[in-house]
């Protein structure tokens, strides 16, 4: 009597083939379970890496801008274009699992942390939803979202709704955002998808519209700056330098081992300055 089904080896089948008694449907289900197990393991590694990154970033409290969007909308290409981050840009789901974070200096001299995230997809498997919620924590805590849309896709409007739904599900539905209509170099005559938020048309591949996008981001953060007046120990040159990098130092006077400083900075840096201020 022969052992196993076609393609199976004597003792349980070779990897990727049918074992004794397995139907093709069972083989397919097993392969899916194995892929999901590997993906969940990668997500656990991402969680550990991101925790370390977040702790380091607390030492440089710049506001965070997160790129979100449906898979293959061009987020990683945009990240590369803005920061030369060399992020993998692939036409497949989950090509960006580990959020890539890079500093970006705007024209108004303000620094932000730009974060690339995993591409959203329709009907994410339930067993992965919680894991992706953890991975997308950068989205929940971001000061601003750039919702990147493949404007050349006939499914653009539907995919925008899917992304909005995922944002609601992970607790980021009310986060401020700028719509980024990407891939305009591939668009033909016809109507562009309707958007309710401020939108900027760009091509991350050719660079068209990137200056307009950066200007829109700068305008958003210009309203969030605040003026702070503090007196610090003169040895806290690190905080003075942080204020210069983040915004604008309006005055700086040294006397008796102290520095009295007035600066226009982001809320995060203002909080750091006030915390270190002498009473």
10 Rama class: left (phi>0) / alpha (psi -120 to 50) / beta: beta
Q: So where are the chain's domains?
A: 30-222, 226-276
For the chain, give the mean pLDDT.
Answer: 78
Tell me whether residue 93 is exposed, middle or buried, using C-beta atoms within 10 angstroms of its C-beta: 0 to 12, 13 to 18, 19 or more: middle
Q: Tell me, what's the pLDDT at 34?
A: 86
Reported as a pLDDT band with limits 50, 70 and 90, residue 197 is low
pLDDT exceeds cutoff 70 at 98: no
Is-contact 8 17, C-beta < 8 A? yes
Alpha carbon 135 to its chain centroid, in Å, reads 10
Q: Tell me, what's the pLDDT at 81?
A: 93
Is-contact 38 54, C-beta < 8 A? no
Measured CA distances, 20 to 4, 16, 169 (Å) = 4, 13, 42
Taking only the tens place, the pLDDT of each residue in 134-146 is 556 778 888 899 9
Reported as a pLDDT band with limits 50, 70 and 90, residue 62 is confident
Both tokens assigned to 238: 């690190």
Q: Which CATH number fits domain 30-222: 3.40.50.300, 3.40.50.10800, 3.10.20.740, 3.90.550.10?
A: 3.40.50.300
Higher pLDDT, 227 or 94: 227
Q: Tell me, what's the pLDDT at 10?
A: 42
**Cα(217)–Cα(223) distance, rounded to whole angstroms?**
11
User: Residue length, the chain?
Assistant: 279
Q: Tell me, what's the pLDDT at 36?
A: 78
Higher pLDDT, 103 or 224: 103
Q: Which of 70-79, 86-95, 125-134, 232-241 has the lowest mean pLDDT?
A: 86-95
pLDDT exceeds cutoff 90 at 11: no
Taking the domain 226-276, which CATH number applies? 3.30.70.240
Q: Which of 111-115, 124-128, 209-213, 263-267 has the lowest mean pLDDT?
A: 124-128
For residue 7, give the nearest of 17, 16, 15 by alpha carbon. 17
What are the φ and ψ backbone dihedral angles of 200, each rounded to 5 degrees? -130, 130
Taking only the tens place, the pLDDT of each residue in 205-220 is 999 999 999 999 998 8
- How many helices (DSSP H) and strands (DSSP E) are in the chain? 8, 9
**Cα(197)–Cα(68) distance, rounded to whole angstroms?**
14
Q: Tell me, what's the pLDDT at 122?
A: 56
The residues, ordered by sequence, that sit 6+ positions from 252 with a Cβ below 8 Å of its Cβ are: 240, 259, 260, 261, 262
Reported as a pLDDT band with limits 50, 70 and 90, residue 49 is low
CB half-sphere exposure, 202, CA atoms < 13 A: 29
User: Can 30-222 and 226-276 be said to share one CATH topology?
Assistant: no
Q: Which of 50-54, 74-78, 255-259 has the lowest mean pLDDT?
A: 50-54
7-34: average pLDDT: 67
Reported as a pLDDT band with limits 50, 70 and 90, residue 73 is very high
Is-contact 261 240, C-beta < 8 A? yes
């Amino acid at each position: 009597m022969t052992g196993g089904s076609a393609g199976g080896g004597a003792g349980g089948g070779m990897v990727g083939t049918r074992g004794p008694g397995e139907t093709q449907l069972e083989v397919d289900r097993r392969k899916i379970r194995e892929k999901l197990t590997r993906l969940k393991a990668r997500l656990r590694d991402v969680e550990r890496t991101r925790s370390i990154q977040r702790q380091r970033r607390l030492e440089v409290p710049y506001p965070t801008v997160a790129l979100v969007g449906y898979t293959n909308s061009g987020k990683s290409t945009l990240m590369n274009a803005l920061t030369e981050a060399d992020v993998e840009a692939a036409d497949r789901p989950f090509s960006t699992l580990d959020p890539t974070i890079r500093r970006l200096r705007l024209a108004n001299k303000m620094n932000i942390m730009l974060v690339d995230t995993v591409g959203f997809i329709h009907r994410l498997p339930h067993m992965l939803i919680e894991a992706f919620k953890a991975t997308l924590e950068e989205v929940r805590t971001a000061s601003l979202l750039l919702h990147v849309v493949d404007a050349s896709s006939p499914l653009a409007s539907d995919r925008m709704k899917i992304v909005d739904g995922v944002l609601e599900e992970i607790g980021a539905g009310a986060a401020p955002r700028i719509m980024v209509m990407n891939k305009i170099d591939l668009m033909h005559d016809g109507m562009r998808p309707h958007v309710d938020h401020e939108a900027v048309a760009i091509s991350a591949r050719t660079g068209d519209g990137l200056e307009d996008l950066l200007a829109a981001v700068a305008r958003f953060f210009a309203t969030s700056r605040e003026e702070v007046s503090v007196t610090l120990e003169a040895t806290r040159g690190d905080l003075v330098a942080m204020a210069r990098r983040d915004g604008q130092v309006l005055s700086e006077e040294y006397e008796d081992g102290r520095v009295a400083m007035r600066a226009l900075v982001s809320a995060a840096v203002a909080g750091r300055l006030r915390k270190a201020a002498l009473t």
